[in-house]
Structure 1
């Protein structure tokens, strides 16, 4: 991940959406999917450093500078970014309803796709078979114990990641903060065939900066009159721009 990521004009561009002439094209009939356009205040360097110390992890550069320059949460892809906050219990991420997201495994290595696939295969292979038990009661006890392991396995599969936002219908976006995939964003849905999959542009994983800025370019284009689904989006000069593969996709 790049260490010199910055967000020129991004905060102003998001807040300007309040005055956009066609908000329904961007956000639907109800405005923003997460309510009125809003951004939490940016955090200070001291606050970000304190959160990192308490949580036991260094934030990826693109997310760290977002907290410093854009805001601690608010309007963003899907239903908006969960807010990084501090209360009497310490630093945590909370959604718009104040639900506190667990970060107890944040300092663990974020697993690779191969590791997660191996864990799932092993878990499925250990499913109890009724014919191996003398009676229904003993089978049900074994099955319940096996099934309960899934909750622990799910937590292990997203260790080392921050829950960033809700996509709706039980799907969430997570940001890897440890391991080789540090700084990239992932879609997590436990009902999907592949529960944890990268948010990607083609075959490439997408980092937090490009994920957010590509959304902002698209939503700005639509809010100012562009048709949804149109591909060649050009953010106004001087404003936040996507990089790399996404930059080519958005017409740069």
Structure 2
């Protein structure tokens, strides 16, 4: 039986992909409007057995009734596939997620604000150096310190990367912990922190809202006359 929240969604995506404005939708050249085949219940059970965690309900239903990935927000929803007998998510940055940590709660808080502020205040500026080589060395050393704090694997325990927006900006779906089922923005490459996506009422956006909001906007663009 199809989960009603996803009833007709696959067909709507396919119709939008055939629309006159489909090429104008951001990221469409990446996912090409292709929706992968849904998982069978047996495949989903195998995936969850291998990762040791039950996926959030909205996402589980999507995998079963819409597809394993493909057309979706930005450059698409990262597909989950069985490769040489093991399940994994595939996409630009998907390997940032440690699948052995999916059953561990996603942290409630990031690094202390003061630590981040101190690090940002210490970021070298090119005008402070007489030689560009000295600046390059200083910024490289600072980048290593920043990444050691911001990109430690513990910070993204219990989460998977599900989409990328280009320029190393990505979005994560939280699998375990108090934020389970919500989608978070990852702009750490731009010296920002991981933050939850929020709706107009400042409520964290869950997977189903994340996907259907994209689809509604995509339909407005793709189905409009040129």
**So what's the TM-score if we normalise by structure 1?**
0.70
* Bigger RCO of structures 1 and 2 (CA < 8 A, at least 6 apart): 2
Q: Which of 101, 104, 110 is equivalent to 1:108? A: 104
Q: Which has the higher helix share?
A: 2
Moved more, 4-13 or 160-169: 4-13
What corresponds to 2:46 in structure 1?
Answer: 50
Q: Which of 86, 89, 92 is equivalent to 1:93? A: 89
Q: Is the 8 A contact 1:162 1:175 kept in 2?
A: yes
Rounded to whole Å, the distance in 1 between the matches of 2:31 and 2:224 is 20
How far did residue 224 of structure 1 move?
1.3
Instruction: Flag structure 2 segments of 5+ consecutive residues without an equivalent.
Output: 123-137
Instruction: Flag structure 1 segments of 5+ consecutive residues without an equivalent.
Output: 130-139, 228-252
What corresponds to 1:231 in structure 2?
Answer: none
Task: Kindly indicate whether residue 85 of structure 2 is the aligned counterpart of residue 82 of structure 1.
Answer: no
What corresponds to 1:207 in structure 2?
Answer: 206
What corresponds to 2:163 in structure 1?
Answer: 165
Cα offsets for 1:6-57 (capped at 9, x unmatched): 30100011111232122233248xxx13142101100011111111111011
Q: Is the 8 A contact 1:73 1:82 kept in 2?
A: yes
Rounded to whole Å, the distance in 1 between the matches of 2:186 and 2:29 is 19
Bigger CA radius of gyration = 1
How far did residue 89 of structure 1 move?
5.2
1:86–1:206 distance in 2 versus 1, CA, 3 Å? same
How far did residue 108 of structure 1 move?
1.1
For residues 148-159 of structure 1, the aligned pairs below 5 Å read 150=148, 154-159=152-157
DSSP 3-state at the match of 1:109 = coil
Count of residues in Structure 1 that have an aligned counterpart in Structure 2: 203
How far did residue 200 of structure 1 move?
1.2
Rounded to whole Å, the distance in 1 between the matches of 2:68 and 2:6 is 14
1:13–1:149 distance in 2 versus 1, CA, 3 Å? closer
How far did residue 158 of structure 1 move?
1.3
Cα offsets for 1:157-184 (capped at 9, x unmatched): 1111110011111110100011111000
Q: Is the 8 A contact 2:93 2:164 kept in 1?
A: no
DSSP 3-state at the match of 1:108 = coil
DSSP 3-state at the match of 1:209 = helix
DSSP 3-state at the match of 2:46 = helix
The RMSD of aligned alpha carbons is: 3.0
Q: Is the 8 A contact 1:93 1:101 kept in 2?
A: no
Q: Is the 8 A contact 2:23 2:29 kept in 1?
A: no
**So what's the TM-score if we normalise by structure 2?**
0.78
Q: Is the 8 A contact 1:45 1:68 kept in 2?
A: yes
Rounded to whole Å, the distance in 1 between the matches of 2:225 and 2:215 is 13
